[in-house]
Structure 1
Amino acid sequence: MKNEIELLAPGGDIDSIKAAIVAGANAVYCGLDRFNARNRAENITFDDLAGILRLAHQHDCEVFLTLNIIIVETEIPALSILLNKLVNTKLDGIIVQDFGVFHLLQKYYPSFKVHASTQLTTHNAGQIKFLNELAATRVNLSRELSLEEIHSLSTVAHENDMLTEVFVHGSNCIAFSGICYLSSVHAGKSGNRGQCSQPCRDQYLTTAEGRDFPLNIKDNSAFSDLRGLYEAGVDSLKIEGRIKKHHYVYTVVESWRQQLKRFYEQDQVGRGEGSLRKVFNRDFSNAFLQGEINRNMFIDNPRDNSAIYQAKKSGMSVEVALPTAKRKLYDQKTEIINSVDVQIAALSTEKAPLILSASGEVGSPLTLSIKSSDLSFEVKSESTLISAATKENRTSARAGSKKGIPQSLDSELLAERFKAINDTEYFIDEIDLSELDDDLIVPFKELVVLKRQILYVLNGSKEIQAPVELPRLKKSPSDEASPELSLLISSAEDLHLCKESAAKVFYQLPNSFKKGSAEYVELFRNNEGLIPWFPSVLIGSDYQIAVELLEQLRPEQIVTNNTGIAYEAYQRGIDWIAGPQLNLVNSYSLICLKESFNCSGAFISNEINRGQIRKMVKPDDFKIYYSIYHPIILMTSRACLFYQVTGCKKNIVDGACIQRCEKSSQITNMNDASLLIKKSKGDYHTVYNESSYLNTDIVRDVPSLVTDYLVDLRDIKTDTQIEMEKPQLTQLFQRYIVGDAEAANELKEVISPVTNTQYRKGI
């Protein structure tokens, strides 16, 4: 049997981290009170971290820190300060989403092990290679993948010296992670900032299928799929739940630990969920893993299903059995909580006290002895101690110092000079000078060297990295050239715009290419100047066909929302533009794409506001794009959204569904806001906002940054009506971006209703 699989547990607070440790987790992932994608969790402080690392490592448990949100420009200095502190800890890994953070870690903090977050929705081989170029050591694969697809990607990852991890238990998202903007648009709380308000779990007006919670899916449980995950080459089994309580974490981790033990020792996989049914769940599904995406994934109740499940097992009606089931579960949960509380009470996340003893006399080196419960060592100065009694000695000792005459060595001085020890897993509890003669001095530079030697040992023989001061990014001189206009289409009926407009024209490609790439090769070859626009999700053979299309066409330029295609374009020397769903919100993300992948331009995320955009700095010889008008994509899902809304005759989503199905419907939440559900041929199910996005303000607000504006003219029907033909509308937009202020009023008259809420609120 190959190496054992890592069991990776959530740690939303200190008690949950302790619970994961006593239950047998190999690693825990947790977030600080800033920069992590679960801001509803209690999280931990930096001061907590050292003690947590000490406790975890004592129990052979690793700790991964989540810095997995997109970072706006004004936060970069604070992030740098945090990284300067984290780099000198024993942290085992950092989980990252933002490309700017990848860039900073790779360039300035290469000692970190970097993990790619689930927010990057990694689902094809090119994306793994892309992340490998950014020095990622492991990747969390998309939750929508089957075991067969996971096996393929794990093979690619291992060929590139990367590990893979897969979520195996807990809450599941109906949408692909990282490209869901429902909470951002409707509640001003971005999922890419760890603020998701979970509107997919909300109640909606009852649908034609009689459902009140049409977007709510069951929890993920791969408990019976352990053998398949093992054979697929997965390196880490990840449990969701950083906002769950410690008894939940313990129960799930302990259940999985026992399952792994059975598998390793008896070559058996238990089939029942057992204790997993005793803690919060929305019922369970492994449909994605099994490649059987079906109607049974959904449940019309977002609340805890554990008591209902027990009531159904009783053989009586749910109404009759439910009160008894609730009491029984309450008693069981209380028993679990009490048991876990006893176990974690014995664990401490306090730092370890140490004694710093100084000894020496005139003419001998200064000797510092460091003792704690788990270590003992000495360091010695190269210079000898001298008396502070004479002016000559003071002058001699001052050599190399910039702070004036050295003080005599005493407790106060040593506490100040070695206070950095208190940022490790230890703290100075006592300073003993009983073996040190009075009124002695040593050059300050010697104390600096001794401090570094001590920190080297305390940090596990890891060199201390000096603080990094990021260079100030300089804004390029304003480009006096007029901004340009680009159009996005997805229908052959709009190809005439290539000839009738001076704008660049992008053509949206589908998620699925089951019929091959021949028709698209012909399309682009027959329409010179038409630029391919690749979607955000390309899985399995669809990705391979998209790569074949790229190879056959060898276009001069592409736009891509998928980093796998970006990697392939980079390898072929094809000019590429980063699409709006890559969530670019800071200058370093742009620098990352330009320097690492020769990207020539990028769309700024529509989630950020005027002030956040203004702070960004454009790299030299780089185009900045902004989508000024488009239907707002709220989410993309691999599941069929019509099961719960209008119904569907087929029980399983297959290739034929993706290729042939063409439907639309809508659901309305309790605040009377509608979501438009659309399924186009060759695409996954997509949810759009009822009103399209129009932002004419940015042309005036940020005149020196944006070089190209996009108008999305795809035929996606929202409540927004356009009272003008596309060629004339294009001309109207063209007039506005080159300075015709009156054109803005005309645009608002011919396009309505519209919204630019995200631009006003930001993230």
Structure 2
Amino acid sequence: MSSKIELLAPGGDVDAIKAAIIAGADAIYCGLDTFNARNRAANISFEELVGIIRLAHQYQCQIFLTLNIIILEREFKSLAKLLSKLANTTLDGVIVQDLGLCYILKKHFPTLDIHASTQLTTHNIGQIPFLKKLGASRVNLSREMNLKEITAITAVADAEEVLVEVFVHGSLCVAFSGLCYSTSASVGNSGNRGRCSQACREEYETTPSGNNFPLNIKDNSAFFDLPALIEAGVHSFKVEGRIKGASYVHTVIDSFRKQIDGFIETGELLEDGERLYKVFNRDFSNAFLRGDLNQSMFIENPRDNSKYHAIDQSNAISVVQIHEVEQSLSDEKEQINSTVQDKIKHLSIEKRPLSLTFSGSLGQPLTITMVTEEFAKGATKPHELVKVFKTSSALIASKTNCIDKATIEKRFKSFNNAEFTLTALNTGEIEAGVGIAFKELTALKNDVAAFLNDGVSVLPEVTLPKLIHHAKSNPGAKAKLSILICDDSDINLSNVTNADIYFKLPDAYKRGCTKYVDFFKENPQLIPWFPSVLIGKDFDVALTILEQVKPRLIVTNNTGIAHRAYELGIKWIAGPFLNTTNSYALLAMKEEFNCAGAFISNEINHQQMRNIARPENFELFYSVYHPILLMTSRQCFFQQSVGCEKPRIDNGCMLSCDKSTSITNLKGVSFAIDKQKAGYPSIYNKDQFLNMEVINDLAEYYDGFMIDLTNIGAGDKQSPEKTALITQFEQLLSGEFTDTQSIENSLNKLVPESTNVQYHNGL
């Protein structure tokens, strides 16, 4: 494994990328105008990307491309075209969230290095071998991890030869990355598609604790924790900020560069970090990294805090003093911007000129003299590069297949592309009446292309094989009902239904907990349901349950559990929070991990579902009734809403707290905050998800439909009578009743506040 410490910078536009290069970034991550999780960033074109890669490599800086969203079925054709183009660049890596994209990269584009995005919510040691098997060479950990947890994961990653990235500076989401559906459910802008509307930064009606921005947390900064992160085995220090400008990027990267280099040289931290307050910030916290989750992580100002910091530092009191501080800061910011622009103005990503001159006579080979420009390492100006290429065979006399200008242009005009401007294509030095086999001409073109591609042969465009839409294993069988419970008292529901019963395991456990091992052995009819987030000792306990019970079947929303189930030969189904949206994700899970089935994402609409191809002997499921989760957090939602006596969150909070409340935005829409014992604080939509249409539309497509009877997310609302819900859904699924409208009316009365808008809107 590499011992080099990498400083990884954000690049939202060309100027920010140039600023990162000149500030000393070792690598930069940036996005194109499609397929990336920062639609609000300016982003770059493919042509600009090619120039950026060339420029960055002159400065020994790598470029990683963000393709970090979930992918829809219809997008893979155009995505394959893009990947074919990327495979013929010297791009250093692609950052990926979607398991289906991992699958096609590993299978069809092996030269592209795969980096697992933070959107994959990687937080336990079991997820590292899972991602390694999908082809990931590095993993960006969840931002909520503390140093002890990071150290445990890097040890496993090192053994697996996987590099670890950790965010060290920039904005923090209050929710677990990849598990935030707040704006997807409310306004159709999915964070998993790069369209987050930042509900956590919104103003809400003043809460009982007196806060107007109860979800807004400070920015992350590990500026003074770099030695501990190095000791923990972290390879890459990643700075957030693709929506930020060049002056921000340069200031932050230059500050971190000096801090890292100073520490490596002297063993001490030499920088005071004050420059970080001169550019956009919401004040800073390293509480996640310290494992000290407290109220000081929140801030009432979701916008730039630099002015308030400057005023505090200056002890300004009077209006005149405050104005002077504000003016001074404004002048400093203008100077920073001017200095950065001056530093980057000479950096060019313009296409290189290319001229090709063809010559040859009878009995001699056809020759190309190529003239272009190249940069020596660290040079600011290019020098001319001349290279001569020749065919292996000689030109022959020909009356019908002569080498002429039209023949040459037809085959060589493609060199006028994203990398080069074909300034000249000269054929005047070819003797008239001579020809050569077209395969020789093609070979000559390939030689030129390979030379211009750093000596690597140009790869042909990949066309993905046509997917086979397999039928159900039992095509005539009706979709079966399944139910999800989390309370021991609900086990007696097995007396009123033949439905499969999933039992939801908690997110957290007492140390050495064996309660659930005995519980599942005593109730073998129950199917364990593993949650999305299992950190540290909680993952260890979950593994113990899996390994000691060895159930016939599980549902898991956590890839670490999925990997262990695969190793143990336990049949597993991918849960709904793995957010499966395409056929290739299904193939990845089936072919790599022997997955038996999957819940299809509730974020997509009915037409997007229809296009997904079922693998052979694979079951498909869909949740038709459940609370609509907006976000789950490791932080406490009650501190800023109703208040809490505890100044910080501890393990006892996770295990014993079971509060509920609500917050209301300025549009008058309320959201339930719910905390179950041994669960993470979560926010839910006011409506339940209730989708009866899918049963009529796609009953032949799905093997099973699930209803969630856990009461989680209900807050103080009365939950529907569970037996009645089961009865009505079973009648609807049976297809034996002609008056389905009356059944639907009954369900609507049982669940008066409901919606299925996501089923229509999709992604």
TM-score interval for Structure 1 and Structure 2 normalised by the shorter chain: over 0.9
8 Å CA contact 1:308, 1:322 repeated in 2: no
8 Å CA contact 2:711, 2:719 repeated in 1: no
Matched, 1:409 2:419: no
Report the Cα offset of residue 476 of structure 1. Answer: 2.3
Cα 1:331–1:696 shift into 2, 3 Å: same
Which of 599, 608, 620 is matched with 2:616 structurally? 620
Report the Cα offset of residue 320 of structure 1. Answer: 6.2
Partner of 1:701: 697
8 Å CA contact 2:673, 2:713 repeated in 1: no
Which of 544, 549, 554 is matched with 1:553 structurally? 549
Cα 1:724–1:648 shift into 2, 3 Å: closer
Report the Cα offset of residue 28 of structure 1. Answer: 0.7
Distance in 2 separating the partners of 1:152 and 1:186: 37
Which of 376, 383, 386 is matched with 1:376 structurally? 386
Matched, 1:218 2:218: yes
1:525-604 alignment, distance < 5 Å: 525-604=521-600
Distance in 1 separating the partners of 2:719 and 2:310: 57
Matched, 1:156 2:156: yes
Distance in 2 separating the partners of 1:439 and 1:7: 59
Cα 1:735–1:440 shift into 2, 3 Å: same
Report the Cα offset of residue 459 of structure 1. Answer: 1.4
Distance in 2 separating the partners of 1:29 and 1:723: 46
Pick which of 311-320 and 225-234 moved more: 311-320
1:640-677, CA deviations, whole angstroms, 9 ceiling, x for partnerless residues?
Answer: 11110111122221111111112111100011111111
Partner of 2:51: 51
Distance in 1 separating the partners of 2:256 and 2:413: 42
Percent identical across equivalent pairs? 48
Pick which of 518-527 and 436-445 moved more: 436-445
* Corresponding residue SS for 2:224: helix
* Corresponding residue SS for 1:349: coil
* Corresponding residue SS for 1:85: helix
8 Å CA contact 2:674, 2:715 repeated in 1: no
Cα 1:308–1:426 shift into 2, 3 Å: same
Which of 493, 507, 514 is matched with 1:497 structurally? 493
Report the Cα offset of residue 426 of structure 1. Answer: 3.0
Report the Cα offset of residue 407 of structure 1. Answer: 5.2
8 Å CA contact 1:720, 1:752 repeated in 2: no
8 Å CA contact 1:721, 1:752 repeated in 2: no
Partner of 1:401: none
Partner of 1:447: 441
8 Å CA contact 2:47, 2:418 repeated in 1: no
8 Å CA contact 1:80, 1:468 repeated in 2: yes
Matched, 1:144 2:144: yes
Pick which of 150-159 and 377-386 moved more: 377-386
8 Å CA contact 2:36, 2:66 repeated in 1: yes
The code of the aligned residue for 1:212 comes to N
Partner of 1:350: 350
Pick which of 26-35 and 732-741 moved more: 732-741
Partner of 2:377: none
* Corresponding residue SS for 2:416: helix
Distance in 1 separating the partners of 2:402 and 2:12: 46
Matched, 1:660 2:656: yes
Matched, 1:16 2:16: yes
Partner of 1:127: 127
Distance in 1 separating the partners of 2:513 and 2:86: 47
Partner of 2:248: 248
* Corresponding residue SS for 2:17: helix
Pick which of 596-605 and 370-379 moved more: 370-379
Which of 604, 608, 611 is matched with 1:608 structurally? 604
Partner of 1:279: 279
Distance in 2 separating the partners of 1:613 and 1:231: 46
* Corresponding residue SS for 1:32: coil
The code of the aligned residue for 1:605 comes to S
Cα 1:723–1:113 shift into 2, 3 Å: closer
Distance in 2 separating the partners of 1:561 and 1:384: 64
Partner of 2:183: 183
8 Å CA contact 1:576, 1:601 repeated in 2: yes
Partner of 1:293: 293
Cα 1:515–1:450 shift into 2, 3 Å: same
Distance in 2 separating the partners of 1:407 and 1:147: 70
Pick which of 370-379 and 655-664 moved more: 370-379
Which of 430, 439, 456 is matched with 2:424 structurally? 430
Report the Cα offset of residue 3 of structure 1. Answer: 3.2
Provide the aligned C-alpha RMSD in A: 1.7
1:478-519, CA deviations, whole angstroms, 9 ceiling, x for partnerless residues?
Answer: 622110111000001101113331000001111112243411
Cα 1:61–1:736 shift into 2, 3 Å: same
Report the Cα offset of residue 408 of structure 1. Answer: 2.4
Gaps of 5+ in 1: 395-405
1:553-612, CA deviations, whole angstroms, 9 ceiling, x for partnerless residues?
Answer: 000000000000000000000000001111110111111111111000001110011111
Partner of 2:311: 311
8 Å CA contact 1:312, 1:318 repeated in 2: no
Distance in 2 separating the partners of 1:228 and 1:362: 71
Report the Cα offset of residue 434 of structure 1. Answer: 4.9
Distance in 2 separating the partners of 1:745 and 1:444: 72
1:44-101, CA deviations, whole angstroms, 9 ceiling, x for partnerless residues?
Answer: 1112111111111111111100111011111111111111111111111000001110
1:349-381, CA deviations, whole angstroms, 9 ceiling, x for partnerless residues?
Answer: 012112222222112221222222234333322
Task: With the length of structure 1 as denominator, give the TM-score of the two structures.
Answer: 0.95
The code of the aligned residue for 2:11 comes to G
Partner of 1:386: 396
8 Å CA contact 1:24, 1:254 repeated in 2: yes
Distance in 2 separating the partners of 1:720 and 1:293: 27
The code of the aligned residue for 2:458 comes to I
Matched, 1:711 2:704: no
Distance in 2 separating the partners of 1:47 and 1:415: 22
* Corresponding residue SS for 2:127: helix
Distance in 2 separating the partners of 1:290 and 1:320: 39
8 Å CA contact 2:553, 2:570 repeated in 1: yes
Distance in 2 separating the partners of 1:407 and 1:327: 73
Cα 1:423–1:149 shift into 2, 3 Å: farther
8 Å CA contact 2:676, 2:712 repeated in 1: no
Partner of 1:512: 508
Report the Cα offset of residue 723 of structure 1. Answer: 7.6
* Corresponding residue SS for 2:276: helix
Cα 1:244–1:615 shift into 2, 3 Å: same
Distance in 2 separating the partners of 1:376 and 1:677: 67
Cα 1:708–1:310 shift into 2, 3 Å: same
8 Å CA contact 1:484, 1:707 repeated in 2: yes
Aligned residue-pair number: 747
Distance in 1 separating the partners of 2:505 and 2:92: 40
Report the Cα offset of residue 327 of structure 1. Answer: 1.1
Distance in 2 separating the partners of 1:85 and 1:318: 60
8 Å CA contact 2:357, 2:425 repeated in 1: yes
Distance in 2 separating the partners of 1:706 and 1:423: 46
Partner of 2:117: 117
Report the Cα offset of residue 340 of structure 1. Answer: 0.9
The code of the aligned residue for 1:139 comes to V
8 Å CA contact 2:203, 2:213 repeated in 1: yes
Report the Cα offset of residue 221 of structure 1. Answer: 0.6
Cα 1:357–1:137 shift into 2, 3 Å: same
8 Å CA contact 1:307, 1:322 repeated in 2: no
Matched, 1:751 2:751: yes
8 Å CA contact 1:9, 1:253 repeated in 2: yes
* Corresponding residue SS for 2:442: helix
The code of the aligned residue for 1:302 comes to P
Distance in 2 separating the partners of 1:230 and 1:616: 43
Distance in 2 separating the partners of 1:708 and 1:655: 37
Distance in 1 separating the partners of 2:440 and 2:65: 34
* Corresponding residue SS for 1:372: strand
